[in-house]
Structures are given as structure tokens and as C-alpha cells.
Amino acid sequence: MSGLCEEIGLRQPVWLNPLNLIRVMPAKEREFRLSHSRIIVVGAGVAGLACALELEERGLQVEVVERGRRLGDGSCSWMAGGMLAPWCERASTDAAVLTLGEPSLSWWSRRFAGTVRNGSLVVAPRRDTAELTRFAERTERCDWVDGEQIARLEPDLSGRFHRALFFPDEAHLDPRRALPALADELGKRSVPIRFGADFASADGLGALIVDCRGLSARDALPDLRGVRGEMIVVRSRDLSLSRPIRLLHPRLPLYIVPRGEGVFMIGATMIESEERGGASVRSTVELLNAAYALHPAFGEAEILEIGVDLRPAFPDNLPAVRRGPGAFYVNGLYRHGFLLAPAMAKRAADAVLDSLMETSDADLRQRRSA
């Protein structure tokens, strides 16, 4: 935690908090104050857009400022695989990722019609079957499936794997369609997104700031670090998959997310490096080799894009909402931006409402005693 910021923990939503029942401000005046409080959300990545929606839905006046000229410019969210896979992630992450991530499946289904709820499949080469057992032991809500069941789920993988783990409740989405859908929804609710606006300071704006700048917020959150991820987008006319496939391998774990129309995202490296340069030859070869091991048809696929970005992460790799002077920070979404943004947006909106109520009540008390 930075010296200036205080972390906001999980707690009851503000309307369930019994302390609020004894607040002194008349309801009408409080409502008026809340609807006239101005909130500036900085950053139109997945965290910023989810926060803006959540705040608007709580009746607040919101605007978003984004440094990029359009959605996705300079945003880590544009590079994401878009897997909503809390049970698969549980195999290698803290239980909080599952607790916070599970509700995001219905959050996304409600807000983005392109959310695909076909589950995920985890496979391993025959010699690495022990990896599957280890994976299953570290998580829950998965079924063992045999070669025939694999072929029913994914006909193009028929005969390639004899055992797999199927996670029926997981989902995926295309971030490059999901983010515009959130932006459209904000537009319908008259929440402006001001592109090309490099936000520097809240001084003189008379607004409360919700800072969702991702890795750029390191000036205020010095313990934030970048974790490099490289990904490749390909098109194959010979292969069709209905759900994300994870290939377990001691050296080259990989996932492939179908984007429709023969397009697949192959991801992703996890490198403790803040180097923003292009993808390395080694990473590219390893990702493509692993894809080829999943199915040789990837050997004939057309490479559409090789991308790199840095995932914003705190030392414990868990996201947080922190409160600093005049601002709330929503950050550290690491490799779970799409999975955890809905829960973090709810937490941030609760904290903002609490803070506005505190200010209003203090204000009124001061006026009464004057």
C-alpha cells in the first residue's frame, strides 16, 4: 500500500449498512447532493468502463477521460484473451479470484450479448497427463472427460487427446467487441467518454476522481508493477473451436481463445519484465509451437497480429480499490481484468457513495452548528 492511500476492503453494500439508517441528512437533500456530485473516471480500459457504468447505475453524474484517441489505444485491455475462467484460474491463484470472479459471468452476460458460455477445456499431451491431475486437485467444478466426450465437445480435437478437464460454467468474450459494447451502453446513459484527454490533476475541477489508469498510475501507486504478456492472433480456415482450450505443459502452458470466423487468440506469456518492446523470437516460437502441438492445422494459419502489453499488478497479484486524497484508485487487475473488473467496480462504487455521504453529512452538521 502506498503511504498516501488506504485500502478499501470487502464489506456490505452501502444500502445494507445499518449505520446509514441513522444518517442525519434528510433523504431528499442527500439524493439531490448525490445526483449533483461529479465523478471523473480516468482511463477507458475495462476497469474504467466497468466503474463508470456501475457509478452511473447508482445515480451519479459520471464522465470518462481517456488519453488514447480511441478505445483500445494504449490499453492493456485491448490485448486480453477475454477468458472468464475463475475455476481454471483457481488452480494457480488465490481463492479471492474465484470469489470475486464468479459473479462476473452474469455481469458480462447481462451487459454484452457476445458473452459465450460454453465452458473451457483443459488438455495435456499423453505424457503430461499427471499435469491434468495436479490441475484438477487445485480447483473445483470440473469434470473429467474421455476421448469420445472431447470429440463431442470439440470435433476438431477428435483423436488428439484421450483425457481432459471440462469446466462447464466458464465463459469467454472478445475484448475488442466487449469494450465497445460497454462504451455504447455508457453513451446511451449520456456518460461522455472524452478521448485524447491526458488527465493530469483534479485541482480546480470540483470532482471526485476514480483513477483507472492501469500501469500509468504508478506515480500514485508505487508498488504497482508490469507483468509482460505476449499474444498472437491467427486465422485458420481449417479449424473450428467453440470454447477456450488450455494446453498444460510443464514448459509451455498455453491457451487458445476462439474469436469467431476462424480467428483465434493464442496467449500468453507471463514474464516479470516491464520491457514494452515487440514480442521476442523465443516467445513467438514457443506460443506457435504450443499451438501446433494442440493441432497441426495451426501450422497453416495466417498470423494477423503479434501483440505485447504489461499487466498492472500489485505485489500479491490481487486487485484493490484504494483511497487517496480526492481520488479512488482501482488497479492491480493483473491477468484478470475482465474477470474481476465487475467486482472491483462494485467495490469502488460502494466506496465512492460512502465517501459522498460522509462529506454531505459532515457538511450539514457544520451548517447546523454554525
Q: Does 343 bind ligand FAD (CB under 6 A)?
A: no
Q: Tell me, rounded to whole angstroms, the distance of Cα 194 from its chain centroid.
A: 22
Amino acid identity of 106? Answer: S
Q: Which of 8, 82, 171, 298 binds ligand FAD (CB under 6 A)?
A: 82
Q: Which of 309, 323, 329, 352 binds ligand FAD (CB under 6 A)?
A: 309
Q: Which of 87, 161, 199, 328 binds ligand FAD (CB under 6 A)?
A: 199
Burial letters 256-269, b for 16+ CB under 10 A, else e: bbbbeebbbbbbbb
In angstroms, the CA 39 to CA 352 distance is 9
Q: Which of 312, 320, 321, 322 binds ligand FAD (CB under 6 A)?
A: 312
Of the candidate spans 5-13, 19-27, 73-81, 360-368, the one that interacts with ligand FAD by CB under 6 A turns out to be: 73-81
In angstroms, the CA 149 to CA 133 distance is 18
Of the candidate spans 8-16, 65-73, 137-145, 354-362, the one that interacts with ligand FAD by CB under 6 A turns out to be: 65-73
Query: Closest distance between ligand FAD and the C-beta of residue 233, in Å?
Result: 11
DSSP string, 111-167: H-TT-B---EEEE--GGGHHHHHHHHHT--S-EEEEHHHHHHH-GGGTTT-SEEEEE
Q: Does 231 bind ligand FAD (CB under 6 A)?
A: yes
Cβ neighbours of residue 221 closer than 8 Å, sequence gap 6 or more: 2, 5, 314, 322, 329, 331, 332
Residue whose C-alpha is closest to residue 348's, from 194, 208, 173, 238: 208
Grid coordinates of 95: 481463492
Q: Does 214 bind ligand FAD (CB under 6 A)?
A: yes
Q: Which of 41, 65, 121, 245 binds ligand FAD (CB under 6 A)?
A: 65
Q: Does 98 bind ligand FAD (CB under 6 A)?
A: no
Q: Which of 55, 60, 62, 79 binds ligand FAD (CB under 6 A)?
A: 79
Touching ligand FAD, residues 102-161 (CB under 6 A): none
73 versus 363: smaller Cβ distance to ligand FAD: 73
DSSP string, 151-167: HHH-GGGTTT-SEEEEE
Touching ligand FAD, residues 10-49 (CB under 6 A): 42-48
Touching ligand FAD, residues 237-276 (CB under 6 A): 267-268
Which chain residues interact with ligand FAD by CB under 6 A? 42-48, 65-68, 74-77, 79-83, 198-199, 212-214, 216, 229, 231, 267-268, 309, 311-312, 331, 333-339
